Amino acid sequence: MEVAQRVVRTHEPEFDVVAGYARHVLEASGVRRTPFHLECIVDDDGPCLVEVAARLAGGNPTFDSWLHRIDIVDAALEQYLDDGSSAPLRLDWAHYDSQVAGQVQGVCDRVGRVVRVRGLDRAAAVPGFLRWGRVPAVGDRVVATIDVSGIAWHAMVVAPDVARWHEQAAAVRAAVKLDALEPGERHPLLTLRTLAPATVRALRRGRTLLFMRPTLPDS
């Protein structure tokens, strides 16, 4: 469970509120055996549904796998194909609660094509940096970030507490700088050689998650 891209640990008050709400939504939907993705807004009146879908959460199966020390894609396939003989899903809640984890997301304020990326090494050196989810690269097309489709890059960061996590997340964001040209501008770096890798990455991101095998970080 995440709030503002930070995992909500089981002892935090929001966890039971949203977990109970999600359980009721899924029971009402009739879904019985599938991964699901649910978004809601919690205010003074309680949770309010934004969306729910019978699928894995989009973007980064590696992050979900790391939280519980399981292969989330393998677990999903086992549930989809279960004939009643599968063992119950074993989630590692101790590891989930052991530290604050979350995804740091890069935002942009313009439309363009990336011609230079700075600060990746500095970002990776921030304490608690776990791994890149999506590495920004020369040739990437960026847009003004107004929703998740406009996220320029993202990385996994862990910390011992919430305050430290926000500090480390801010340090990662501050380290990464993207120089981009607006449509119509020309730059010698924007050759076929630099655009080709970005095109390949875009095609790979378009594949269904069921054909992506997450690689777990070491810690």
pLDDT in tens, 97-148: 999 999 898 988 888 888 889 999 999 999 999 999 889 998 888 888 888 7
Q: Model-level pTM greater than 0.95?
A: no
Integer Cα distance of 32 and 7 in angstroms:
24
- Alpha-carbon separation of residue 1 from 10, 79, 110, 183 (angstroms): 9, 20, 31, 38
Q: Which of 61, 77, 97 is the last residue of a domain?
A: 97
pLDDT for residue 155 is more than 70 = yes
CB-based burial label for 67 (10 Å; 0-12, 13-18, 19+): buried
CATH number of the domain at 170, please.
3.90.1170
Is residue 31 domain-resident? yes
d(CA 143, CA 188): 21
Does residue 209 contact residue 73 with C-beta atoms inside 8 Å? yes
| Domain end among 54, 78, 97 | 97
One domain, residues 117 and 92:
no
- Assess whether 117 and 76 both reside in one domain: no
Q: Mean pLDDT of all residues in the chain?
A: 81
pLDDT at 190 exceeding the cut of 80: no
> How far, in Å, CA of 61 to CA of 65, rounded?
6
**Residue 208: is its pLDDT beyond 60?**
no
Q: Could you tell me the CATH number of the domain that includes residue 34?
A: 3.30.470.20
111 and 190 inside one domain: yes
Domain count, the chain: 2
Is residue 216's pLDDT more than 60? Answer: no
**Local structure of residue 209 (DSSP, 8 states):** G
Two structure tokens written together for 19: 């977990």
Q: What are the tokens at 38?
A: 């649910």
Task: Give the burial class of 35: count Cβ atoms within 10 A of its Cβ; 0-12 exposed, 13-18 middle, 19 or more buried.
Answer: buried
- The pLDDT-based confidence of 185 (bands split at 50, 70, 90) is low
Question: What would the pLDDT profile of 70-90 be if each residue is shown by its tens digit?
Answer: 888 888 888 778 777 777 778
Asked, for residue 219, whether it belongs to a domain, the answer is: no
Q: How confident is the model at residue 218 (pLDDT cuts 50, 70, 90)?
A: low
Tokens read off for 154: 């993202």
pLDDT for the residue numbered 89: 79
Q: Residue 94: what pLDDT? A: 93
pLDDT above 90 coverage of the chain, percent: 32
Domain that holds residue 38: 2-97
Residues 63 and 126 grouped into a single domain: no
The answer to whether position 15 is within a domain reads yes
pLDDT exceeds 60 at position 217: no
**Which comes out higher in pLDDT, residue 31 or 219?**
31
Backbone angles phi, psi at 35, to 5 degrees: -65, 155
